[in-house]
Amino acid sequence: MTTSDYKKAFTQLKANPIKLKKYKKHNTPKVRKTGIGLRRCKRCGRFGAHIRSYGLHLCRTCFREDAKSIGFKKFS
Ligand SMILES: [Zn+2]
């Protein structure tokens, strides 16, 4: 199972409530207070290479794609 959404399996597991309960117990992601796992890109959901400055909350790839439309200029 990917980190994208552990709730994807819920629709299949709703047929058996006991198995759903067990699935939730073992697969619910840990609630993070610090670190990389706390911050995700708001556009694509990626964890790595996160840009927090100016309240962007984008990963580097999304920033490169959106930078011009946001108003950033490249000087080099
Ligand atoms: Zn992104």
**Domains detected in the chain:** 1-30 (no CATH), 40-76 (4.10.830.10)
For the chain, how far is it from start to end, CA to CA, in angstroms? 42
* pTM summary value: 0.64
Query: Ligand 1: distance of its center to the CA of 25 in Å?
Result: 30
pLDDT of residue 29: 84
Per-residue pLDDT of the chain (76 residues; tens, 9 = 90+): 455 678 888 888 999 999 999 999 998 888 889 988 889 999 998 999 999 999 999 999 999 999 999 999 989 8
CA distance 46 to 20: 27
Query: Ligand 1: distance of its center to the CA of 13 in Å?
Result: 31
Whether residue 58 contacts residue 65, with contact meaning beta carbons closer than 8 Å, is answered with no
**Chain Cα centroid distance, residue 29:** 12
The mean predicted confidence, pLDDT, of the chain is: 89
